[in-house]
């Protein structure tokens, strides 16, 4: 939108400046050409007036003096002839030259010469101006003046330069105005776009304070703020509802467990206790998910800048899960040359929770004899972590659903769980501005990217 608006305004502005400049250039050239022609025509008329008494038998001294002075001053050529084409005065050119002879013939017939075309800065050459001596009914001679157009061309070039310079200044001013107008018009749009981006990143309560721009867009910003408030209240109510339901169901669950413990039939008791365990795991997962959503939203809104060492956190969690991995027949290993430190912009408790989810899934589903490996590196301001196992993995069709809430694959349904672990892990990582992805191929690999913190 910005580009199209700028293109339209700039094209219109350039055309407007050109619409003023081009006619002004043409008018400047036409006026100077007219001044030049009139001045030389007046000179020729003056020589004709001086030649009339000389051709009637008077002295030609004054005429010769005036012609010589004019030629010295302007560098023009002047020829004065009588009615029989005899040269009376010649200065700077001869009457026998073809173009001069043609001009003499036209003047003796009292035919005006056509006006020269408008001059331009690149014009050159000479112009012939002729004038009959005498009246329209009796022509006693002719005056032909040859003059160079260079002085007029130089004046036109200077005037055009001034006009073009003024046009460039006007164009620059117009460009500045266009950019300011475009910025003024699009400022609310940019602010709304940034607010929408923050909302999609998890900042569910962005506000737009628009103090400039068209009134219609300022009104739209107000409507956006009201919508943002409504969405924030709805999301908060939803998280509260989930947390309240999960919390309130724990008390009836505990009471039912006590009553089930009193059943005489052991088989029925064990079956019901298994289902109770699953239901309690689901409630715990719902509470954890509500907590993760609230934590992620608070982090995005506050922009808290926590940090920890990913190498230290992973080492601690591997040590904590060592006993469970040994019992399941799973081996845990690190890279051959592990990094000494990988500082990331994430709280150690959050990263530990994410690592626990990944290790829990790997220990449960990789199978006996599998190996869990981790690796990490820092590149271009991002820390990349990978935790991979060489278990059976999942099918390509199931892979996109691993981070869906409450979704569990066919192989995972035989074990305890709520299907919320990877969803919670993804929510915590993305809240810190990172990326969480799961791939398969000879096992399951979890990719984590987090912004690198200053060491």
Per the prediction, the chain carries an average pLDDT of 80
Give me the number of domains the chain comprises.
Answer: 3
Residues 441 and 400 in one domain: yes
For the record, the structure tokens of 186 come out as 């699009």
CB 357 within 8 A of CB 423: no
User: Cα separation of 437 and 334, whole Å?
Assistant: 20
Domain that includes residue 21, residue range = 2-156
| Residue where a domain terminates, one of 156, 179, 211 | 156
Residue 179 placed within a domain: no
How far apart are alpha carbons 293 and 288 in whole angstroms?
9
Q: pLDDT > 90: what percent of the chain?
A: 11
Based on the domain organization, do 14 and 76 belong to the same domain?
A: yes
Question: Does residue 219 sit in the same domain as residue 325?
Answer: no
The closest alpha carbon to 151, from 31, 41, 24, 36, belongs to 36
Residues 150 and 296 in one domain: no
**151 with 30, same domain?**
yes
β-sheet with 87-91: strand ranges across:
87-91, 77-82, 139-148, 126-134
In a shared domain, residues 278 and 259: yes
Tell me, yes or no, whether 186 lies in a domain.
no
Whether residue 368 is found in the same domain as residue 432 = yes
User: Where is pLDDT greater, at 178 or 416?
Assistant: 178
Helical packing angle, 215-261 and 266-302, nearest 10° = 160
Taking only the tens place, the pLDDT of each residue in 181-233 is 877 777 777 777 777 766 666 555 666 666 666 766 767 777 777 777 777 77
What tokens does 424 get? 């919670």
313 lies in the same domain as 285:
no
CA 321 to chain centre: 50
In terms of domains, do 36 and 150 share one? yes
320 with 433, same domain? yes
Burial per residue of 134-152, b for 16 or more beta-carbon CB atoms within 10 angstroms, e otherwise: beeeebbbbbbbbbebeeb
pLDDT in tens, 101-157: 898 888 888 887 787 888 888 888 888 998 888 876 788 889 999 998 888 999 999
Residues whose CB is less than 8 angstroms from the CB of residue 119 and which lie 6 or more positions away in sequence, other chains included: 29, 32, 33, 36, 149, 152, 153, 156
Residue indicated by tokens 């867009």:
217
φ/ψ (deg, to 5) at 380? 55, 45
**Which CATH number characterizes residue 86's domain?**
3.30.450.20
Backbone φ, ψ for residue 221 (5° rounding): -65, -40
Tokens for 211, please give them.
Answer: 């103090």
Does one domain contain both 298 and 330? no
Using DSSP's 3-state secondary structure scheme, residue 333 falls into: strand
Same domain, 317 and 292: no
């Amino acid at each position: 939108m910005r580009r199209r608006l700028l293109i339209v305004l700039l094209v219109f502005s350039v055309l407007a400046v050109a619409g003023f400049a081009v006619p002004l250039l043409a008018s400047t050239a036409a006026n100077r050409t007219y001044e030049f022609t009139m001045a030389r025509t007046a000179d020729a008329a003056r020589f004709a007036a001086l030649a009339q008494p000389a051709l009637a038998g008077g002295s030609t001294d004054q005429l010769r003096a005036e012609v010589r002075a004019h030629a010295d001053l302007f560098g023009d050529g002047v020829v004065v002839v009588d009615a029989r084409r005899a040269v009376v005065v010649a200065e700077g050119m001869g009457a026998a030259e073809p173009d001069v002879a043609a001009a003499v013939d036209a003047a003796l017939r009292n035919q005006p010469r056509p006006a020269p075309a408008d001059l331009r800065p690149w014009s050159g050459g000479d112009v012939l101006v002729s004038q009959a001596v005498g009246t329209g009914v009796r022509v006693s001679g002719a005056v032909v003046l040859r003059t160079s157009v260079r002085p007029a061309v130089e004046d036109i070039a200077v005037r055009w330069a001034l006009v073009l310079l003024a046009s460039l200044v006007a164009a620059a001013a117009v460009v500045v105005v266009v950019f300011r107008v475009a910025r003024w018009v699009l400022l609310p749009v940019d602010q709304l776009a940034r607010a929408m981006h923050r909302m999609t990143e998890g900042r569910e309560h962005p506000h737009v304070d628009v103090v400039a721009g068209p009134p219609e867009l300022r009104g739209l910003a107000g409507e956006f703020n009201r919508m943002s408030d409504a969405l924030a209240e709805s999301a908060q109510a939803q998280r509260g509802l989930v947390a309240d339901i999960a919390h309130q169901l724990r008390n009836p669950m505990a009471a039912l467990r006590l009553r089930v413990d009193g059943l005489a039939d052991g088989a029925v008791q064990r079956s019901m206790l298994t289902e109770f365990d699953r239901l309690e795991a689901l409630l715990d997962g719902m509470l954890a998910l509500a907590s993760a959503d609230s934590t992620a939203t608070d982090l995005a809104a506050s922009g808290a800048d926590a940090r920890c060492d990913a190498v230290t956190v992973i080492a601690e969690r591997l040590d904590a899960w060592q006993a469970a991995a040994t019992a399941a027949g799973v081996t845990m290993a690190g890279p051959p040359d592990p990094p000494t430190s990988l500082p990331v912009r994430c709280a150690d408790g959050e990263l530990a929770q994410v690592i626990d989810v990944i290790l829990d899934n790997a220990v449960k589903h990789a199978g006996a004899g599998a190996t869990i490996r981790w690796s990490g590196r820092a590149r271009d301001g991002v820390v990349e972590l990978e935790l991979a196992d060489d278990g059976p993995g999942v099918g390509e069709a199931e892979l996109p659903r691993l981070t869906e809430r409450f979704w569990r694959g066919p192989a995972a349904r035989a074990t305890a769980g709520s299907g919320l672990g990877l969803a919670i892990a993804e929510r915590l990582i993305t809240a810190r501005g990172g990326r969480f992805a799961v791939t398969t191929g000879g096992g399951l690999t979890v990719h984590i990217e987090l912004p690198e913190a200053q060491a």
